[in-house]
Chains A and B, each alone.
Chain A
Amino acid sequence: MQILEEIKISDNGFVFNALTGESFSLNPIGLEIIKMIAANSDFDEIRKTILDKYDVDDLSFEKDFYEFSTMLKHYQLTQQNNPLNFV
């Protein structure tokens, strides 16, 4: 999964889609994850970073991550290639 180049991510969690004019607010964890996705980290790297840093189990992380990824796709913040490719 790749974040579109038109997406601008601010350090305060404000995300702006210059293609559609829509904007979104992310919480600190969401911001951390979207930044990792934007930096082309793969799923395993993101999982390791989050599991090392926060008190969360593998299953919960995976569930939340897929939900978050689906949301990014739904709001057209990512390149729409393979719909089954979550990372």
Chain B
Amino acid sequence: MIKQKITLAVTGLNNTDNPGPGVPVIRGAKDSEELEVRVIGLVYENLEPGIYMENLCDRIFQIPYPSSGSEGLIERVEQIHQQEKIDVLIPNFDAELFSFMKYEKRLAEKGIRTFLPTLEQFQEREKDKLPEYGEKYGVKVPDSINLGSLHQLNEVASKFDYPIMIKGQFYDAYKCFNIEQAIYAFHKVASKWGLPVIVQEFVSGTEVNVVALGDGSGTTIAAVPMRKQYITEKGKAWGGITLADEKMLELTRVLIQKTKWKGGMELELIKTSSSDYYLIEINPRIPAWVYLAVGSGQNIPEALIKLALGMEVKPMKEYKIGKMFVRYSYDMIVDLERFAAISINKEI
């Protein structure tokens, strides 16, 4: 079979203790039997491990943080495109998605295809809107309050029993057992991610996740449920296993069907001892553990690229149950020249 040659640009090459999904997305794309992928790595920092991994990226470019302005980020991508002719771009950070969604049309006109949720889909699943989201789509979610100031923490005492979860808008979550811990977590989260800070009822149970892909018309193209077997101090999965949980799959299919979700997503759920599922978060992108889905039979990155290119993708129903991933750390020895090149030239 002759493979279709494409150039894929990917962000999120930060395979650190809080890993971005870039490297597993590239691995999935390279596993494709239909696509021959040339990879352009887009990095924010000059020590993102993906820069130094052999046989991963063909070119690397540094791009400016979206916080310094969406326009600057998009212009840099367009500049790279003039040089490299990007066919598909997969952004992998929550914080950059807004910029890429906002300029989706402009990028498409230049020939850079993406496959992202709409702004409405993106915004309605934000953490501070979760109760409304749960009600709208008939999903159980933990009760929560959005705090605009520290004084409002007093409301928590009358509404929830401890422990509670204190969460940032984009990242970070702390389990707090008393008001002192809650105040500390509030300051930590607010200084990093701004306001509102979200206080969420703590739901006791097992944390389970689904990685899924919606085609934008209500069809679930792929969905694989997983249970975290090993969780780091930052709450990241360092090991996980695929599950045979039809309830989780049904919940995913219903949500994608009702929201007409477009793109990759991760559902974070708590399964209680009475087998109820509480949706605690929706990540609007492919998660860092996506290679488990690839390894168990559903190549989500490949399917997403094909959808972005307008190719037909049939829904994938099967996956291997009981497949595991175990992450590891590994010291690469790299030459200073590579570090110098990305630091000074902003490209390799």
B residues near A (Cβ < 8 Å) are 206, 208, 226-227, 229, 240-245, 271, 321-322
Contact partners of B240 in chain A: CB under 8 A: 21
**Complex-state Cα separation, A16 to B322, whole angstroms:** 8
16 residue pairs bridging A and B, Cβ less than 8 Å apart = A8-B322, A18-B243, A18-B244, A18-B321, A18-B322, A19-B243, A19-B244, A20-B206, A20-B243, A20-B271, A21-B208, A21-B227, A21-B229, A21-B240, A21-B241, A21-B243
Bin the interface of chain A by size.
under 10
On whether the beta carbons of A19 and B245 are closer than 8 Å, the reply is yes
- Which residues of the partner chain A approach B241 to less than 8 Å between Cβ atoms? 21
Give 1 or 0 for each of A17-36: 1 = CB within 8 Å of chain B CB.
Answer: 01111000000000000000
Name the interface residues of A16-60: CB closer than 8 Å to any CB of B: 16, 18-21
Contacts of A21 in B (CB 8 A): 208, 226-227, 229, 240-243
With CB as the reference atom, state the residue of chain A lying closest to B243: A21
A6 at the interface (CB under 8 A from B): yes
Chain A positions near chain B (C-beta within 8 angstroms): 6, 8, 16, 18-21
Alpha-carbon separation in the docked complex, A18 to B324 (Å): 12
Question: What 7 additional pairs, Cβ within 8 angstroms, besides A16-B322, A20-B227?
Answer: A6-B244, A18-B243, A21-B208, A21-B227, A21-B240, A21-B241, A21-B243
A5 CB to nearest chain B CB (Å): 9
A6: B residues at CB distance < 8 A: 244
Residue of A nearest to B321 (CB): A18
Q: Which residue of A lies closest to B273 (CB)?
A: A76
Max count, chain A CB within 10 A of own CB: residue among B229, B240, B322: B322
Distance in Å: Cβ of A12 to nearest Cβ of chain B: 15
State how many angstroms separate the Cβ of A53 from the closest Cβ of chain B. Answer: 31
